[in-house]
Structure 1
Amino acid sequence: MSDDHSNEWYYNTRTGQVEPYSGAKSADRLGPYNSPEEAARALEKVEERNEAWDNDPKWNDD
């Protein structure tokens, strides 16, 4: 694994800000993402994935 984190971006769930690898502790972040724009959509992506999983018949055992 590479030590180059220059293209890693994170969404900070505490502050609502996008930050580089050298930002806050990982417990408060979602990522890594390939760009600041992708990181800014982190919560949207989480919602999209949750919706997909909620409606996936392979995982719906109700």
Structure 2
Amino acid sequence: MSDSGPDGGYYWCLRHQRVESGADLCAAKYRLGPYASKADAEQALQRVSERNEEWDAENARWTGEQG
């Protein structure tokens, strides 16, 4: 997959807090993605938060911690 243009996907830029695509891309270390749509990229931080909560809960179950 190419890193440029809508065919290369949409990215959430952690540095600028916006969706980027095409030639308007920050360095990879500042991006989440690629996502298939602009709407998916706009939800990137919410998805990261939800996944982190799921993984924390799974880790707690795995280690027998009560939370």
Normalising by structure 2, we get a TM-score of 0.75
- In structure 2, what is the equivalent of residue 42 of structure 1? 44
- State the structure with more CA Rg: 2
d(CA) in 1 for partners of 2:37 and 2:54? 23
Cα distance in structure 2, aligned partners of 1:25 and 1:59: 37
SS of the residue 2:58 aligns to: coil
Which residue, out of 27, 30, 33, partners 2:29?
Answer: 27
**Higher relative helix content:** 2
Give every structure 1 segment of 4 or more consecutive aligned residues whose post-TM-superposition deviation is greater than 6 Å. none
**Identity, % of aligned pairs?**
34
Whether 1:9 and 2:26 are equivalent positions in the alignment is no
* TM-aligned CA deviation for residue 53 of structure 1: 0.3
RMSD: 2.3
Equivalenced residues, count = 61
State the alpha-carbon separation in 2 of the partners of residues 11 and 52 from structure 1: 21
- Report deviation, 1:58: 7.8
Instruction: Tell me the TM-score normalized by structure 1.
Output: 0.80
Alpha-carbon distance in structure 2 between the residues aligned to 1:57 and 1:3: 35
